[in-house]
Structure 1
Amino acid sequence: MTANGGDPGDSKSFGGQDGGPARPSGRPALPKMLRRRGVLAGGLGGLAALAGAGFLLRDELPFARHDDRSHLDGRFRRLRLAAPHPEHDPIIVLAQRQGIFARYNLEVSFPTGLVAARDALGLLQNGSVDGALVSVLSWLPELLPAYPGRTAPPLSAKLVLGLQSNSARLLVPRKGPIRKIEDLYGKAIGLADPHASDRMFFSIMMRRKGMNPDRDVRWVAIPPDRFGDALAANEVQALAGHDPVIWQVRERLHLNELASSMTGSYGIRVGRTLGVRDDLLRTDPQAAAAVSLALFDAAVSVARDLDAAASVLSDDLEDMEPDMVLRMLRSEGHSVHPTGGALRAQVAQYIDELKLLGLVEDSVDSGSVARRCCASVMPG
C-alpha cells in the first residue's frame, strides 16, 4: 500500500515509525517460522458494521455458481497471478494441489518471494502478472482516481471476485490495563509493516470510536521475531497483524485479542479480492472468468472442509501443528465470496470508510467509483 507521506500529526498520514531500541537479552522470541518466512503483509482488510448484510450475502449467490464451465470456450491458458506468500494461502494451495485450475484449462503460476501486497501490486503495475490477490484496503489506494501521496497513475485493473473476509487481529497482554479500543490512547502499537492493510483496518475502527489513529496512538515498525521482546520491554503495548503470523503470536505469547476483523458483522465483510488487468478483461474476458471460477471453487472447498485445508496448510507452516492451523482457520471467515453487485456494494462501503480517515473527499460518489473499480466476469 502506498504511504501517504504526510506529517505524522496529519489525519492523512500513514507513514511508519522506527522499530525502537535494540533487543534486550533474555527476552522470549517468536518461533522460527516467523524468523525464517517473514510476515504475511498486505493481506486481508475489511471492516465496519454492514447494513443490509443479509441482502448482500443473498445477492452474491446468482453471480457465483460453483463449478460453472458451460459458458467457457475450453481453450488452454497460462496466467500469472501475484499474492503475498502464496505457499501460506489455503485457497491457492488447494487450487493447485486439487487440480482446480486444470479443471478450467488453466496453468496458473505465482511468483515466489512476495511478502507484501505492494510487491504483488507492483508486479501488476509493470505488467509482469495478469492479476493479484490482496486485500481491498490495499487495492483501493492504487485504484482510486485520486489518493494522497500516490505518485504513479492509478492501476489499470478491476476487482472481480471476493475470496474471504479479513484475518486482522489486535493483541494485548492478558494482565495489562488495555481492555477496549479507547484504552489505546497514548499507546504504541507494533506491526511488521506500517503500510499494510492491518494498520488501515484498525485505524478505521479507532476513527469510529472518536480517535485520531495518527495522533492518539503511535505505530511502531517491528520485525515479527521481535514482537515478544518489544512487548516485554514495553516498547509497545499492543501488536497488530494478520494470520498466520499474528495467530501464532497470539497462541505462543498467550495474548488477548482486543479487536479483530472476525467478530460480529465485520466477519461477513470481504477482505481479500482478486483483481485482473484491464487489458486482459478487454482482450480475453473468458480468461478472467475462468480464473475467477477456479478460485471461487477453491474458496468454497476451503470453507466446506476446513480440516482438509488445515492438513494441506500444515505441510507448509512447519512450526504450526495441524490442530493449531485448524483452530486458526475456524476463527476466520471463509464463506465470503461476493461478486457482481455484492462486491461493488462492499467496495463502496470501503470507500466511505476511507472518507472517515480523510483519504477520500467527502464529495466523492462512492457507488460510482466502486463501479469503475469492479467488473462482473462470473456467469449470470
Structure 2
Amino acid sequence: MTDPHASLSRRQLLRRTAVGAGVLTVGGGLLAACGSDDDNNAATASSAGKAAPVSNKPIVLAWGGAACEAPLYAAHHLGYFKDEGLNISLQQVGGDALHDAVSTGKVAGGPGILFQWLKPIEQGLNVKLTSGLHEGCLRFVTPKDSGIKTLSDVKGKTIVTDEINGSAMAFFSVDLAKAGINPEKDVTWKQVPFDQVAKTLSKGVGQVAAAPDPAAYFPLDDGSAIQLDTNLNAQHVNEYCCVTALNGDLVKKDPATAAAIVRAWGRGSTWVGKNLPAAAQLEIDNKYVAAPKELLVKLLGQYVWDPGSKDLQAQLEKGAVAFKGTGYLDSGTDPKQLAQLAFAPLPNVA
C-alpha cells in the first residue's frame, strides 16, 4: 500500500493508475444488482415493450467525506433512493481506492469531479459518468506570508493535497498548465489525509494546498491563507464539478436501476440547494463532515445545485481537451472519443 505521506513523481503515479486500470478491466467484479435474474427480467421486459424493473437487491454507494457530497447523503437519509425502489447503503471509501471500488463493483458508484475519472477511463476503467451534480467545491490556497500571489508563482513549490490523482490535483493541474506550469515537472505533489490538509500547510510542509471543501477552506476561514484558484471562478461557470460515477456493468446490464440511482441522487442535489441549513446539519449529525454548521452552510451556499445529464458529454469533451494540456492524457487520445466512452445516457434521466 502506498504511504499516503510520500511525495511521488506524477509520471510514476499516472503509470501506476494506468496499469491498475488495465488489470481491472480484465478482472472486474460484478454487482449484486447485475445478477442473471435481473438480466433476464430486463430482457423479458424489453421484449415485451415494458419498462425494465428496478433491482431491490442491496446496492452500496461510496462516500468520501467532502462537504459537496451532500446530495448523496440527502438522497440516502431523506428516502429518495427508497422512493425509487432501491435498497441502498453507504460505505466510506477513501482516496484512490474509489476508482478500484467502482470499477470492480465493490460499490455501485460514487461521486467525484469529472477530471479525476478521465485518465482511468482512458486506460480502460470499467466506469461510466452519468450525470452532473453541482458546480464548485475545490480550493487552491497558500499562506499569506508565502510570497505566492498568482498561479505562475507556484513553480518549484510543494503542493499538499488530499489525494494523488484525486479531484483537486486533477482540476488544478489544468489551471496550472494554462498558467505555463508543467504540473508533472514544475511542482511537487504531496498527499496527506483529508482532515490534515490545513494543519500540514500551517506547519510549512508545503507552500500550497489543493483540496475539496472544507479541507482547504479552513485556512481561508481563519484568515491565515489566500485563495489562488477555485473552480468557482468565472471561467468555470456552467461547468460541473462533481458527477455520478457508476460501475460499467451496472449501466450496461441494468440501466433501469442505474437510472433510478441517478434520479434519486439528482433529487438530493436539488434538495440541498433549497435547504442549506438542513443539509449542513445532516452532514454533521451523521458524521460525514467535521466542520461547524455555519461554515458548511456558507460553503454549500456557494455551489450551483443544478443536476442533470444533457450537457455532461460536451463538458467531458471540453475537459478532455484541457486535460491533454497537462500531459495527463495520452498524446494520441481523441477528446471527443474519450467523452463518448466516459458518458452513458440513461433512460428517464434529464
Structure 2 length normalisation: TM-score?
Answer: 0.78
1:368 to 324, 337, 342: 337
Instruction: Indicate conservation of the 8 Å contact 1:74/1:105, yes or no.
Output: no
Alignment RMSD (CA, Å): 2.9
Segment of structure 1 superposing worse, 245-254 or 190-199 = 245-254
Whole-angstrom CA distance in 2 between matches of 1:329 and 1:157: 27
> Is residue 75 of structure 2 the alignment partner of residue 95 of structure 1?
yes
> Is residue 302 of structure 2 the alignment partner of residue 326 of structure 1?
no
Instruction: Indicate conservation of the 8 Å contact 1:262/1:333, yes or no.
Output: no
Q: Which residues of structure 1 form unaligned runs of 5+?
A: 16-70, 147-153
Deviation, 1:374, is 1.1
Deviation, 1:347, is 0.8
Segment of structure 1 superposing worse, 95-104 or 134-143 = 134-143
Q: Output one character per residue of 1:337-361: Cα deviation in whole Å (capped at 9) or x when no partner.
A: 2314x11111111211221122334
Cα distance, 1:250–1:366 mapped onto 2, change above 3 Å: same
Deviation, 1:250, is 2.9
Instruction: Indicate conservation of the 8 Å contact 1:84/1:134, yes or no.
Output: no
Q: Which residues of structure 2 form unaligned runs of 5+?
A: 3-7, 15-49
Counterpart of 2:322?
A: 353
SS at match of 1:110: strand
> Is residue 182 of structure 2 the alignment partner of residue 212 of structure 1?
yes
> Is residue 346 of structure 2 the alignment partner of residue 377 of structure 1?
yes
Cα distance, 1:300–1:364 mapped onto 2, change above 3 Å: same
Counterpart of 2:141?
A: 171
Cα distance, 1:72–1:246 mapped onto 2, change above 3 Å: farther
Instruction: Indicate conservation of the 8 Å contact 1:163/1:271, yes or no.
Output: yes
2:218 to 240, 248, 251: 248
Letter in 2 for 1:107: N
Instruction: Indicate conservation of the 8 Å contact 1:72/1:290, yes or no.
Output: no
Matches within 5 A, 1:13-162: 14=13, 75=54, 77-78=56-57, 79-85=59-65, 89-112=69-92, 114-116=93-95, 118-144=96-122, 146=123, 154-162=124-132
Q: Output one character per residue of 1:275-314: Cα deviation in whole Å (capped at 9) or x when no partner.
A: 2233323332211111111111111111222232123223
Letter in 2 for 1:186: G
Cα distance, 1:250–1:86 mapped onto 2, change above 3 Å: closer
Cα distance, 1:124–1:231 mapped onto 2, change above 3 Å: closer
Cα distance, 1:227–1:313 mapped onto 2, change above 3 Å: closer
Whole-angstrom CA distance in 2 between matches of 1:304 and 1:263: 22
Whole-angstrom CA distance in 1 between matches of 2:173 and 2:143: 20
Segment of structure 1 superposing worse, 302-311 or 248-257 = 248-257
Matches within 5 A, 1:3-18: 8=9, 12=11, 14=13
Letter in 1 for 2:168: D
Q: Output one character per residue of 1:323-344: Cα deviation in whole Å (capped at 9) or x when no partner.
A: 1110111223333x2314x111
Whole-angstrom CA distance in 2 between matches of 1:282 and 1:204: 31
Whole-angstrom CA distance in 1 between matches of 2:344 and 2:253: 14
Counterpart of 2:266?
A: 296
Q: Output one character per residue of 1:67-91: Cα deviation in whole Å (capped at 9) or x when no partner.
A: xxxx966655232222323898311
Whole-angstrom CA distance in 2 between matches of 1:76 and 1:205: 41
Counterpart of 2:47?
A: none
Whole-angstrom CA distance in 1 between matches of 2:164 and 2:204: 19
Instruction: Indicate conservation of the 8 Å contact 1:292/1:378, yes or no.
Output: no
Instruction: Indicate conservation of the 8 Å contact 1:73/1:286, yes or no.
Output: yes
Deviation, 1:225, is 6.0
SS at match of 1:77: coil
Q: Output one character per residue of 1:39-58: Cα deviation in whole Å (capped at 9) or x when no partner.
A: xxxxxxxxxxxxxxxxxxxx
Determine what percentage of the aligned residue pairs are the same residue: 22
Structure 1 length normalisation: TM-score?
Answer: 0.72
Cα distance, 1:217–1:360 mapped onto 2, change above 3 Å: closer
Cα distance, 1:176–1:309 mapped onto 2, change above 3 Å: same
Deviation, 1:262, is 1.0
Letter in 2 for 1:268: N
Aligned length: 307
